[in-house]
Structure 1
Amino acid sequence: MLKGWRRAEKGRASLRKPRLKKVYVRVKSTLRKVDGENVRITVRPYEYLTLSWSHTWFSPRVKGLELGEPVIKEDKVHLPFRYKLPWSTPLDYLAIDSNLYTLDAYDGEKFVTFSLRELYSLKFGMELKRGRIKSFASKHGRKGELLSRKYSHRERNRVRDHVHKFVNELLEMYTVTTIAVEKLNKQDMFQEADDRLSKKISRTVWRSIHRALKYKAPLYGSLVKEVNPHLTSKSCPRCGRISRKVGLFVVRGVVSPWIDNSTHP
């Protein structure tokens, strides 16, 4: 803020005085010392503030994790924890193709499909319920607004719970693995899709799944990489050749990408 004000004095920025909207202090790693489940923060020379999370509800969840830079506010303290990334890139890999109802993956030996239909059905059902709530809210003012907020919060919690359980099962199957996922952009998809397909795309939670994979993978010794989705669905996972005709076929209940024999050996 002071640097910005100095620029303002030189005529390179607005002349309005800087104003702090939220009062907080971010503690640098050099000013805190961690001892077990306690952290000692240096306030002044020989003056310290000690915090402990040994008897908190989240203590078992952060066991073995590294404490980041605490953030102290007027009425609460935020303790961020971070995972330690593996020192080397795992040799085993899993390539994931994100679709509407499934995640189709290839691990170098076989194709594996993870179903997302239960999650899609949850989003679809909540969407219908939200429509009825919006109709009710338009006629009942404040009461309808509170009800709408309540169900929106409930939907987020249910989706988040389902995503975390799904990601945990996936990572338990593929430990110490480099996982490649597509860096998808829904806004670009909406421009190329019709109204019906756009509604289906809006019910997907690819980004939430990828985000959960990213920060949970180090717990299992794995690593997540985002790749450009261009031509990933048309490329053969074995040899990398790109085909013009791509579809799906089912073998023993597993959905796998197929490439027309006339264009692929």
Structure 2
Amino acid sequence: MRKSSGDSSSTTRRAKNETVVRAYSIPIRVDEVILEFIEEYHKLARSALQEILGARKFTRVERKQLRDKLLKDWNYASHYVDSAINQMLSLVKSYRRKLKKGKKARRPRLRKKFVYVKSTLFSLKGSTLRITIIPRKHYLEVNLANCPHILPFLKEVWAGRLKLGGLFLFPDRLILNFVKSVEFIDVKDWMSIDINLTNVTVLAGLTVYRFDTCELYHIHRVYELKRQKIQKISAWNKKLSEELLKKYSERERNRVKDFLHKLANKIVEIAKERRMGIILEDLNRIKERVVNSSKELNRKLSKWNARELQRIIEYKAKWFDIPVIYVNPKNSSRVCPACGGQLIPQEGRLMKCSCGLVEDRDFIAVLNLRMWGVRGSPEGVGGFEAFANDGPMKTNPYGVMAIEKQRIGIKFHEITLTPP
């Protein structure tokens, strides 16, 4: 559940319960029957997509007619037809919702070949997962005991603390979705996180952690240069160029993913140890809002994984019953956290206020985010009821810090993650 302090309603009480999903991919080997099944499902889903796109409202009657039509030459479990229709319907609804809001949206296309397996189409007995392909004739059986990283989750499923949700079947892998109903803890305080191009700054109580992310930027830059060289090959060997681009793009994704997960683990670990909730910036559509500002800025933003990092932090935190809220970050590094005045840029990353405060802009940002997350933003919008004790960073309703314009007892930790 996501809420922003831009809500003009009165203070919003956050839900105490929520459902969280963790997905894990495991390699599998399938026979020719299943490979053909995945191919047929892909064709079925594409047909459903075209029918739904062509309908104005897609009523219940039209849905039944489409289902009956798709079932005519379908030789597999009928529930897969329902899966395909639901999957494509969700895709089209999302597309039309964007158009209605005036956003740019590409017409939906189905490229990747995979099958969504509903919970009615598989069973879990012990560590053996059995997926129905053709009822009473053909099944896919996967021994999950061969996947050590899955076993702790299986034990939770057997104990009834987790559920195994719908699966995604690919020709070479199976994605398992473990579903957990979490009850958020009553936190002692809140930690705020400011994500920048070259660092992530975290304020936890009276401690500031600054994680160096220059290595992440470097990874993107290295592969950007590789792609530029590969694109020159396409003039005389397009096939080789495409293969190399695919190869290095996958390497880049894997290295970035590994870095982001390590960073998120560190941050969530701090929140767990200190029993703190997490405050994040609402960066929805941030790239859309600033795109076309300048060629240099657009290039930098293309290497910025802020939203992906936030997504990982959020699901990891919620998995451990830690609440996460979002606040509007507008002017978070330009407004004085002591008096609310306008800050003036100084040399380097320093910002100065007429009240005498001179501080690092990242430190100012996390101070403001923390205050706005707990008490609401200075513009008088709703904000949140954060269920936290005021803790060491006490604030009054107007956002004036109890530390009186000074870093009394504030400790800085510079942290560099080991490159993947």
SS of the residue corresponding to residue 231 of structure 1 reads: coil
Query: Which residue does 2:343 correspond to in 1?
Result: 245
Query: Which residue does 1:71 correspond to in 2?
Result: 167
Alpha-carbon distance in structure 2 between the residues aligned to 1:249 and 1:61: 51
Residues 136-155 of structure 1: matches in 2 within 5 Å?
A: 136-155=233-252
Among 225, 229, 251, the alignment partner of 2:329 is 229
When residues 17 and 137 of structure 1 are mapped into structure 2, their CA distance, relative to the original with a 3 A threshold, is farther
Query: Which residue does 2:210 correspond to in 1?
Result: 113
Alpha-carbon distance in structure 2 between the residues aligned to 1:170 and 1:72: 30
**More RCO (CA 8 Å, sep 6+):** 2
Alpha-carbon distance in structure 2 between the residues aligned to 1:144 and 1:234: 46
Identity among equivalent pairs (%): 26
Residue 81 of structure 1 pairs with residue 178 of structure 2:
yes
Deviation string for 1:213-234 (max 9, x for gaps)? Answer: 0111135442322222223223
Deviation string for 1:78-121 (max 9, x for gaps)? Answer: 43113453433423211112211112222242433221111111
When residues 117 and 41 of structure 1 are mapped into structure 2, their CA distance, relative to the original with a 3 A threshold, is closer
Among 119, 123, 127, the alignment partner of 1:27 is 119
User: How far did residue 38 of structure 1 move?
Assistant: 5.8
Deviation string for 1:226-259 (max 9, x for gaps)? Answer: 222223223455x5x5332254789xxxx8x744
Alpha-carbon distance in structure 1 between the residues aligned to 2:319 and 2:66: 49
Query: Which residue does 2:76 correspond to in 1?
Result: none
Residue 198 of structure 1 pairs with residue 298 of structure 2:
yes
Residue ranges of structure 2 left out of the alignment (5+ in a row): 1-47, 71-80, 85-113, 358-404, 406-420
Alpha-carbon distance in structure 1 between the residues aligned to 2:170 and 2:299: 43
User: How far did residue 196 of structure 1 move?
Assistant: 1.2
User: How far did residue 17 of structure 1 move?
Assistant: 7.7
Among 122, 125, 146, the alignment partner of 1:55 is 146
Alpha-carbon distance in structure 1 between the residues aligned to 2:343 and 2:168: 57
Query: Which residue does 1:183 correspond to in 2?
Result: 282
Contact 1:67 1:79 in 2 (8 A): no
When residues 231 and 157 of structure 1 are mapped into structure 2, their CA distance, relative to the original with a 3 A threshold, is same
SS of the residue corresponding to residue 111 of structure 1 reads: strand
Residue identity opposite 2:165 in structure 1: E
| Count of residue pairs the alignment pairs up | 248
Alpha-carbon distance in structure 2 between the residues aligned to 1:55 and 1:178: 36
User: How far did residue 140 of structure 1 move?
Assistant: 1.0
Alpha-carbon distance in structure 1 between the residues aligned to 2:130 and 2:342: 62
Contact 2:267 2:313 in 1 (8 A): no
Query: Which residue does 2:74 correspond to in 1?
Result: none
Alpha-carbon distance in structure 2 between the residues aligned to 1:155 and 1:69: 30
User: How far did residue 155 of structure 1 move?
Assistant: 0.6
Residue ranges of structure 1 left out of the alignment (5+ in a row): none
When residues 147 and 114 of structure 1 are mapped into structure 2, their CA distance, relative to the original with a 3 A threshold, is same
Deviation string for 1:118-163 (max 9, x for gaps)? Answer: 1111111111111111122333111111111111111101110111
Q: State the superposition RMSD in angstroms.
A: 4.1
Alpha-carbon distance in structure 1 between the residues aligned to 2:143 and 2:212: 41
SS of the residue corresponding to residue 291 of structure 2 reads: helix
Residue identity opposite 1:217 in structure 2: A
When residues 109 and 259 of structure 1 are mapped into structure 2, their CA distance, relative to the original with a 3 A threshold, is farther
SS of the residue corresponding to residue 232 of structure 1 reads: coil
Residue identity opposite 2:278 in structure 1: I
User: How far did residue 32 of structure 1 move?
Assistant: 8.0
